[in-house]
Structure 1
């Protein structure tokens, strides 16, 4: 290993959860190809260490079900539209990763056989064992559940050892919004129960509860920091561990 390489990764199989907004760059909507490429390079850097990677990507850069519902659209319909948006993001990430030579599979909770594989747990595990990146799309396949919950669910099903939450412009968990409050305090470590009791906005409550009940740590870090994913995996850099 090169001298400037980080220490040996602490985990062998991980879930990377990022928001759809992480892929839109400075745009207010949609996909920004250079940003998608940059995130793909972060994933490749970790994949090159031999780590097995699952991914869940939100759809908020295209359509957010909850906001659609708030504007008068029927909630179930809005949520299904949001699920379709996550499939579009997953396909974009698959294309970027394969362009870098990383084999990848998009696995959808909603059947669309011409576009993505259906979710079959044993098949997905086999993909991981063959060192393919698995991108889980369409959430859980059910309305009223967020992609945070989908990430926690799939992470448990795939026997991941940790969930990595890549945030935009925030390098961990704070007691209040650091973008609005200069005196916001960052936590190096925080418990699942404190996250729920203090409403710290790490993930939604059902996702945190699912991680807590299965003792699955959540590592919150900034996706904007070059090499951040690879560094945090080795215990370096700035991040918050939720456990």
Structure 2
């Protein structure tokens, strides 16, 4: 089989790193995700990664409790750096050369984000983890993931979640929820489906960047996605 998507942007939620824990980073989950990424790197795939911070601090939640939204979002962006460093460590323990690039400069722990340098790292076979979101408050890490995908000219955005695709309603609450195999950007926006925020979907639509939504907890799903196999939900024009 040949790889259909050579360069990908993998968007991971911070909550996914918690596993069954109520807070923080579950090392077993971290190791599992690192193994999944290692497998596709071995195939010659060039992964960029964006990780959320919901396992440590969520800006919107902080703002809802009276905190200034910009301050809360800045705290959330810093939390993504912690997750990114943890993922870098897990990957490098497997021999995968990894670079963390932050949209908020902090040279003592990671590189500043420079698009051309990021692309060069990918071309050299290094995994690049994009930390600190877009570097601006009021933007989610979903939007940051699509933005980085456009900037590095990724072939596919993979949104890794806890469910096996996009449903018409929450499958955890509603047993009769129907899963979509394929969707268009317009349908996602019109129906208000909770795939990622509307700004991220609109960005992807503008460049016709395909988005694959799949279950991160199932071994081999990322590999299936890069081979173009039927897994999860594919969102295109």
With normalisation by structure 1, the TM-score equals: 0.96
Q: Indicate the residue corresponding to 2:109 in structure 1.
A: 115
Q: Do 2:5 and 2:228's aligned partners in 1 also have CA atoms closer than 8 Å? A: no
Q: Indicate the residue corresponding to 1:4 in structure 2.
A: none
1:237 deviates by 5.0
Q: Indicate the residue corresponding to 1:64 in structure 2.
A: 58
Residue among 124, 131, 134 paired with 2:128: 134
Q: Indicate the residue corresponding to 2:173 in structure 1.
A: 180
1:228 deviates by 1.1
Q: Indicate the residue corresponding to 1:155 in structure 2.
A: 149
Residue among 33, 38, 41 paired with 2:35: 41
1:238 deviates by 2.7
1:9 deviates by 1.6
Counterparts of 2:124 and 2:23, CA distance in 1:
35
1:235 deviates by 2.7
Instruction: Give the 3-state SS of the residue equivalent to 1:83 in structure 2.
Output: helix
Counterparts of 1:222 and 1:235, CA distance in 2:
15
Moved over 6 A (4+): none
1:8 deviates by 1.7
Unpaired stretches in structure 1, ≥5 consecutive residues: 1-6
Instruction: Give the 3-state SS of the residue equivalent to 1:143 in structure 2.
Output: coil
Unpaired stretches in structure 2, ≥5 consecutive residues: none
Q: Indicate the residue corresponding to 1:15 in structure 2.
A: 9
Superposition pairs for residues 1-243 of structure 1, below 5 Å?
7-168=1-162, 170-243=163-236
Counterparts of 1:42 and 1:157, CA distance in 2:
24
